[in-house]
Amino acid sequence: GKKGTIEHKGDQPEKHGLKLRSQLWFDNPDNPGMTALYLERYLNFGLTREELQSGKPIIGIAQTGSDLSPCNRHHLDLAHRVRAGIEAMGGVPFEFPVHPIQETGKRPTAALDRNLAYLGLVEILYGYPLDGVVLTTGCDKTTPACIMAAATVNIPAIVLSGGPMLNGWWKGERTGSGTVVWKNRERFAAGEIDYDEFMNVVASSAPSVGHCNTMGTASTMNALAEALGMSLPGCAAIPAPYRERGQIAYETGKRIVDMVWEDLKPSDILTREAFENAIRVNSAIGGSTNAPIHLNAIARHVGVPLSVDDWQSVGHKIPLLVNLQPAGEYLGEEFHRAGGVPAVVAELIEKGKIHEGALTVNGRTMGENCKGKLSWDREVIKAYDAPLKEDAGFIVLHGNLFDNAVMKTSVISEEFRARFLSNPNDPEAFEGRAVVFDGPEDYHHRIDDPSLGIDEYTLLFIRGTGPLGYPGGAEVVNMQPPAALIKKGIHALPCIGDGRQSGTSGSPSILNASPEAAAGGGLALLKTGDRVRIDLNTCTADILISPEELAQRRADLQGHGGYKAPESQTPWQEIQRSMVAQFDEGMVLKPAVKYQHIAQT
């Protein structure tokens, strides 16, 4: 039937001519033996045959919260409101755990677990009697993992964000998640604060339940879930402890039941237009450099063509509108009060930068949901014509160092620009001497070694930090300069690498380089002392040596067995390394991509 047109809320299946997927398990008279086995164990905690056999939608609540994942932990409480919403519409809730992913707690990386949580959730959504699912999201990788799985299975699915923490405060100033660490580790390195003050100022940035309150990867991915149309309007920005968070949990539970009756599936929502909307919203919010990896992964699983170059062609020219740390000043509470994602979308709609017809989970289009919902606070969400920065999207660099790498040019500081981008004859390019580190441990051991000769014009490189080199890819490319330089007032050197960086970092790094050194990328051929040229106008990044010498270095490296990555430490590390794609292809598990829209109906 036509999507989004059901008006008889909470009606029974015969009115819709729809045989629910769950009834293949719970009410199949052709196979009474199997049906009885499927049914009986779900009755033993008090459910009745009436609930399971009368055609009520069975709704999963994919629970990402646990004691191990504190950013998402309050979903354990929100689930009560989701259940109430589901039951109010005649559905039956089934809550189940998703493999935990805690960005700051998981070794060696939380990113390693994105694909593991994805695989686990695919099996659950495919193999159990679920007609629809509420995806509880929050901490960085939990959001893409859940949406990727819903895209693969393609049963009706709706995102419920957990929401950011309240604003952090320390001595009268806002302290934002992650950003406070990057700022204060410099002060600690310079001897301005001691260990105790460092711990206390960082802890002040986390005053309540919720995910990071900066526009880091968590707030970015939840905003993009909403921009894709996968959550109710306004859902992403509501702070975790606010009353509206519990209320939208209830509305989300209500809505998924009707989505089942309308057969409104991820493939109806996650279209090319939806991804282009999300890319532009990412530029306007100053979103994380992890977003291309995760959105490209979702696109691959739902079968929509999307490339890393689309991020520049679709997103670069969009201005920065949202004044949140790390690119700006404010935090999650102000973003919500100013209007959140609908206000950003409304601003983009005014300039024709949104595909207004893109369908969303509430059955209405992005235009219907957001048009005219302009910002309440122009200090926090700027007007399109008076932005914080022009051209705030990413650029994508190419060259002999890598096939592609992403750079967030909107965070280039005036001081950095003066040092590296001030040659009047060549204003958008710089050259410098490379110093190369092999992984974060090597960086930490050697960064303060005076024999490396690092000065204010040095380019810092790190490799061995991609999906293969440091399983999942390490957030380490935003390397801090040596302490001696920081004491002289040099806060950033150009950083280039095959790893990622935290979305809470304001560093203008060149990162997500694909292919990584461990996959045969050009970074493996670089040597300390080489000169490297970065040109932001032609979007190129090259080692300045001859093609012959480059070929010789490649032959030498291959003669020694290629660039060495450390051994795997766990079974999953080895399995993922055997089949994972590079960052530009979303770091997906390659064999998984062909399984699309697999739900039995």
Alpha-carbon gap, residue 418 to 73, rounded angstroms: 44
Angle value at C-alpha 135, between 130 and 139, nearest 5 degrees: 150
Site string for ligand FES, 169-208 (x = CB under 6 A): --------x-------------------------------
Least spacing, CB of residue 102 vs ligand FES, in Å: 6
- The stretch near ligand FES (CB under 6 A) out of 29-37, 210-218, 291-299, 480-488 is 210-218
- Taking the complex as a whole, how short is the minimal distance between the CB of residue 144 and Mg ion, in angstroms? 12
Return the amino acid letter for 309: D
Are the CB atoms for 230 and 62 separated by under 8 Å? no
Dihedral angle at the C-alpha atoms of 246, 278, 140, 132, nearest 10 degrees?
50
Shortest spacing between CB 589 and ligand FES, in angstroms = 23
Q: Which residues contact 227 (CB under 8 A, 6 or more apart)?
A: 274, 277, 278, 281, 282, 341, 345, 366
Preceding amide of 319 cis, omega within 30: no
Nearer to ligand FES, 438 or 475 (CB): 475
**Does residue 71 touch ligand FES according to CB under 6 A?**
yes
Beta carbons within 8 Å of 104's beta carbon, 6+ residues apart = 110
Residue 166, interface with ligand FES (CB under 6 A)? no
Judged by beta carbon distances under 5 to 8 A according to partner kind, the member of Mg ion, ligand FES, none in contact with residue 502 is Mg ion
The answer to whether residues 583 and 519 touch, using CB atoms and an 8 Å cutoff, is no
Q: How far is the CB of 341 from ligand FES (least distance, A)?
A: 17
Spatial contact of 43 and 113, defined as CB atoms under 8 Å apart: no
Rounded to the nearest whole angstrom, what is the least distance from the CB of residue 219 to ligand FES in the complex?
Answer: 8
* Nearest to ligand FES of 216, 522 (CB atom): 216
Q: How far apart are CA 505 and CA 462, in angstroms?
A: 17
Q: Does 122 bind ligand FES (CB under 6 A)?
A: no
**What does each C-alpha distance from 21 to 56, 61, 104, 150, 269 come to in angstroms?**
11, 16, 38, 15, 20
Q: In what order do the strands lie in the sheet with 510-514?
A: 394-397, 404-408, 510-514, 495-497, 459-463, 429-438, 531-535, 540-543
Write down the least CB distance from residue 502 to ligand FES, Å: 8
Q: Pick one of Mg ion, ligand FES, none as the site partner of residue 211 (Cβ within 5 to 8 A by kind).
A: ligand FES
412's contact among Mg ion, ligand FES, none, with CB below 5 to 8 A by partner kind, is none
Q: Is 136 in the site for Mg ion (CB under 5 A)?
A: no
Q: Which is nearer to ligand FES, 100 or 466 (CB)?
A: 100
| Position with the least CB separation from Mg ion | 502
Do the beta carbons of residue 394 and residue 309 sit within 8 Å?
A: no
CB 104, min distance to ligand FES, A:
5
> Binding to ligand FES by residue 237, rule CB under 6 A?
no
Residue 566: which residues within 8 A CB-CB, separation 6 or more? 439, 464, 470
139 is a contact residue toward ligand FES (CB under 6 A): yes
Asked whether 85 and 250 are in contact (CB, 8 A), the reply is: yes
Q: Which amino acid, 550?
A: L
Nearer to ligand FES, 58 or 209 (CB): 209
Helical segments of 339-404, H only? 340-350, 366-370
Q: What are phi and psi of 133, to 5 degrees?
A: -150, 140
Which positions from 19 through 78 interact with Mg ion, judged by CB under 5 A?
none
Residue 325 contact among Mg ion, ligand FES, none, beta carbon within 5 to 8 Å by kind = none
Q: Which of residues 472-491 bind Mg ion (CB under 5 A)?
A: 475
Applying CB under 5 A, which part among 130-138, 330-338, 498-506, 527-535 lies near Mg ion? 498-506
Residue 218 or 248: which CB sits closer to ligand FES?
Answer: 218
Site for Mg ion in 195-224 (CB under 5 A): 217
For position 502 contacting Mg ion by CB under 5 A, the verdict is yes
Q: Which does 164 bind (CB under 5 to 8 A by kind): ligand FES, Mg ion, none?
A: none
Choices 209-217, 396-404, 410-418, 579-587 (CB under 6 A): range interacting with ligand FES: 209-217
User: Which lies closer to ligand FES via its Cβ, residue 124 or residue 139?
Assistant: 139
For 477, the token pair is: 């490319």
Minimum CB separation of residue 113 from Mg ion in Å reads 12
Q: Cα dihedral angle (355, 356, 357, 361), rounded to 10 degrees?
A: 100
Rg of the chain taking only CA atoms, in angstroms: 25
- Residues of this chain, 211-230, that bind ligand FES according to CB under 6 A: 211-212, 216, 218
| Contact (Cβ atoms closer than 8 angstroms) between residue 217 and residue 290 | yes
3-state secondary structure of 512: strand
Q: Which stretch binds Mg ion (CB under 5 A): 201-209, 458-466, 467-475, 540-548?
A: 467-475
**Binding pattern to ligand FES, positions 330-359, x when CB under 6 A?**
------------------------------
**Site for Mg ion, rule CB under 5 A:** 103, 140, 217, 475, 502
Chain residues binding ligand FES by CB under 6 A are 71, 103-104, 139-140, 177, 211-212, 216, 218
